Amino acid sequence: MIVVPVIFIFRKPPAGPNRFGGLAQPMGFGQAIGSYFKNYVTFRGRASRSEFWYSTLFVALVAIALYLVDRSQTLNHIWSLATFLPSIAMASRRFHDVNRSGWHQLLGLLFPIGTIATLVWYCKAPRADHSRESVFA
């Protein structure tokens, strides 16, 4: 039952140009946060590494600040609900940047192998031609 999803980790993405559109542009911290909320539920297109990681950093910093302000975590729960869909959309666009389907983020639920694979893909540089790649390409 776990063997089938693990096959998707080691399968290489299709060779040739990226099937999810043109190259995503690197962004600064403010631009990434703006894009995060502007593309609230946009699952199409690509997200650069800087856009993904700056947005992730912003969400984490706000969650920590809300925890420090409200120890009952009510505000934190509201923040989690507000950022749930944009986080999934951002991760999906990040996977598109490495020529993978956004559905691959579900592999992160297979601890530890799936989690490691998704982290590797989040950190991976975009490439237009994926013909010469490693196992976690």
How would DSSP label each residue in 62-99? HHHHHHHH-TT-HHHHHHHHHHHHHHHHHHHHHHHHTT
**Residue 95 sits in which domain range?**
23-123
Residues of the chain with pLDDT under 50: 1, 129-137
Number of domain units in the chain: 1
10 domain residue, yes or no: no
Q: What is the pLDDT of residues 43-71, one digit of tens each?
A: 999 999 999 999 999 999 999 999 999 99
11 domain residue, yes or no: no
83 domain residue, yes or no: yes
38 domain residue, yes or no: yes
Q: What is the C-alpha separation between 63 and 79, in angstroms, rounded?
A: 7
Residues in CB range of 84: below 8 A, 6 or more apart: none
62's tokens: 């706000």
9 domain residue, yes or no: no
Task: Let me know how long the chain is.
Answer: 137
7 domain residue, yes or no: no
Q: What is the C-alpha separation between 54 and 57, in angstroms, rounded?
A: 5
58 domain residue, yes or no: yes
